[in-house]
Amino acid sequence: MEYNCFVDCHTHLADPMFSLDIQNVVEKARETGIAAALVCTETPEDIPRVLDLCERFPHMLLPCLGIHPVQKNTEGIERCVTEQDLEQAISEMEKHIDKLCAIGEVGLDFQPRITPDAEHKAAQRAVLQAQVEFAKKHGLPLNVHSRSAGRPTIAALKEFGAKNVLLHAFDGRPSIAMEGVKEGYFFSIPPSIVRSEQKVKLIKQLPIEHILLETDSPALSPVKGERNEPSNVQISCDYIAEVKGLTPQEVKRITTQNALKLFPRLKDFLK
């Protein structure tokens, strides 16, 4: 079956930036042709917000629960994840496993201000490994973050035996991304591609069979500093089409088929 719709494979629609107009944002996304959007968590505190939001819009939003490599302390300052952060979340993740589209957002983030030494890197790897094992146990794909850590993230995923993987907004070199392609991993492209030479180079090398669409809303807008929304997925589609020498309709069709391969629970959303 061929689908004439979009899938936004990575969003944060439970973010407070959408608290006043989420109904309008979802309706605008639907009007753009988005059949489904995956909503990811980052912290244990995000879990009830994401689940509640997906229950409000059950015919379009799907939850992805996971613990991000960057957390915040009680003052709201960013810090490296710990295994205790995952322990806070894992029972909730288990409790709601039948609702989940994927485990995410998980991964590695080796920005020096967050991860200054080998001890912090080891902590992130341990949390990632535990979530890879959790995903394998439940037969779920992974929605993966890899900022400033493209090579070590792909190496870790291979080492941990991860098979069904989406690397979102990948900021590494195309040659590193191709190591992920060899493993069957997918890469999702946000609207910020229009202002990213790195992402254009990435798109040129990635096979279209390994490309998905995302917005990472409210981040990674086509206009720096503006709030991003799922409706901007059309911008990613059009730009990929231009770079790859395809029509936007072809990119729309192929990326949606790719999304269904990686996220089988989408089948009930794509009519």
Q: Indicate which CATH number applies to the domain containing 239.
A: 3.20.20.140
Instruction: Give me the helices (H) in the chain, please.
Output: 22-32, 46-56, 83-95, 118-138, 150-160, 174-182, 197-205, 233-244, 248-262
State the virtual CA torsion across 40, 6, 259, 108 in degrees, nearest 10: -30
Domain that holds residue 125: 6-268
> pLDDT tens digits, residue range 46-100?
999 999 999 999 999 999 999 999 999 888 899 999 999 999 999 999 999 999 9
> pLDDT tens digits, residue range 177-228?
999 999 999 999 999 999 999 999 999 999 999 999 999 999 999 999 999 9
Question: What local confidence, expressed as pLDDT, does residue 271 receive?
Answer: 65
Are 56 and 48 spatial neighbours (Cβ–Cβ below 8 Å)? no
> pLDDT tens digits, residue range 116-172?
999 999 999 999 999 999 999 999 999 999 999 999 999 999 999 999 999 999 999
pTM above 0.95, yes or no: yes
What are the beta bridge partners of residue 102?
A: 64
- Of 269 and 250, the structure prediction assigns the larger pLDDT to 250
Are 226 and 194 spatial neighbours (Cβ–Cβ below 8 Å)? no
Total domains present in the chain? 1
Task: Select from 262, 263, 190, 253 the least CA-distant residue to 1.
Answer: 253
At how many degrees (to 10) do helices 248-262 and 233-244 cross? 110
> Is residue 240 in a domain?
yes
H and E: helices and strands count for the chain: 9, 10
> pLDDT tens digits, residue range 217-243?
999 999 999 999 999 999 999 999 999
